[in-house]
Amino acid sequence: MQNVVNRFLQYVKTDTTSDPKSGLSPSTPSQLAFAKKLAEELKQIGLTNVSVDDKAYVMATLPSNIEKKVPVVGFIAHMDTSPDSSGKNINPQIVKNYDGNAIILDKEKNIVLDPKVFPELLKYKGQTLITTDGNTLLGADDKAGLAEIVTAMEFLVQHPEKPHGEIKIGFTPDEEIGQGADHFDVEKFGADFAYTLDGGEIGELEYENFNAASAKVKINGRIVHPGYAKNKMKNSMLIAQQFLNMLPANEVPQHTEGFEGFYHLLEMNGKVEECNMDFIIRDHNRDIFEKRKELFRAITNHLNLQHGEGTIELDMNDQYYNMLEKIEPVKYVVDIAEQAMLDCGVKPIIKAIRGGTDGARLSYMGLPCPNVFAGGHNFHGKYEFVPVESMEKAVEVILKIVEKVKEIESND
């Protein structure tokens, strides 16, 4: 099991931050370089049909070692880290036998991982935690998933006495910017179903997620000398304020939980003449999701009537949908993972994802793909941490899933 830790610590040394503005695929060249390294590692541990394409998608196969025909199962993780925080020069800190007190990440900057703010820390008293040094994210999302999958496959290669069916491995770029499945070749991958190792705390098992859309709002104002501006100036920033005030004040991330959706203002910049706002729109319920988008259109129309046609330009696009619709007909794939966790002594935490994964889009592309825990907490920022014992359990769960799939008769 030490291999999973060593791999993780090695993987986070490479900056694989994705870039939503590059217009490239992969969005950053470091992801392709990392993909090539991973492909070489997969070859070295003994996997076959290892490939990495020019879009940085890595695929590999562990051939079946049994004569019985069973379903082909896949395991998927993403290589990029979020652009929300720096992924450069990550310097992980290892806290052994965590005592339940606050962990000083950066003494000079007074950055502290405190259980008073993050009470989930107390679940891991006595365990070994890997944290940041307070200056970057950690990268457990999703390099923990990468390390867990590779370690599980290495174990199976080294233990040919363990019977298993054919297993497929897939590593994707740009998941953090919603492009992880853009160029994923489901037919080439060749699995009947798969699991993303991209969940959070130990026990998480998810097969519901948000319906998601992005919305770019451009406001065209008019600049005139302020001393002579009466009935002439249109201050785009004040119109932006109107737009924001017409959205429900409490339907934002910081005031919602569970199945509650939200509108989230990601970025805003402007001057009198032009203001731009970038939003994401989220809801688990498809009907409410459509109503949320309709509100954006209604506000746009209202403000254009008030301030003149063309004042507001709205560019809104769907990003992904709730995988529940595609998973329910093959619910047994969730049941396999749930029982695997129980067999490994892990209490399943089955809940809806307040976000999305590659698995959501892949499910709509014909590859049912629930999401399994990778073990980390506080993703996308300097307070991120992952317990070593959770990573080790994730490896065990992968192996147990493989064992259970072996018992299923293939329909082929």
Q: Which residues are catalytic?
A: 80, 175
Are residues 378 and 192 in contact, defined by beta-carbon separation less than 8 angstroms?
no
Q: CA angle at residue 366 from 365 to 370, to 5 degrees?
A: 95
CB-CB contact of 96 with 89 (8 Å) = no
DSSP 194-257: EEEEEE-STTEEE----EEEEEEEEEE-B---GGG-TTT-B-HHHHHHHHHHTS-TT-SGGG--
DSSP per residue, 299-323: HHHHHHHHH-TTSEEEEEEEEE--T
For residue 387, report the phi and psi dihedrals to the nearest 5 degrees. Answer: -75, 135
How far apart (Å, rounded) are the C-alpha atoms in residues 7 and 3? 6
Q: Which residues of 258-269 are buried (b: 16+ CB within 10 A; e: fewer)?
A: eebbbbebeeee
In order of 48, 58, 74, 189, the CA distances from 166 in angstroms are 11, 17, 9, 12
- Separation of alpha carbons 236 and 249, rounded Å: 21
Q: What is the C-alpha to C-alpha distance for residues 227 and 302, in angstroms, rounded to an integer?
A: 29
DSSP category for residue 109: T
Beta bridge partners of 220: 274
Q: Quick one: which of 241, 237, 211, 203 has its CA closest to 222?
A: 237
Q: How many helices (H) and strands (E) does the chain have?
A: 10, 17
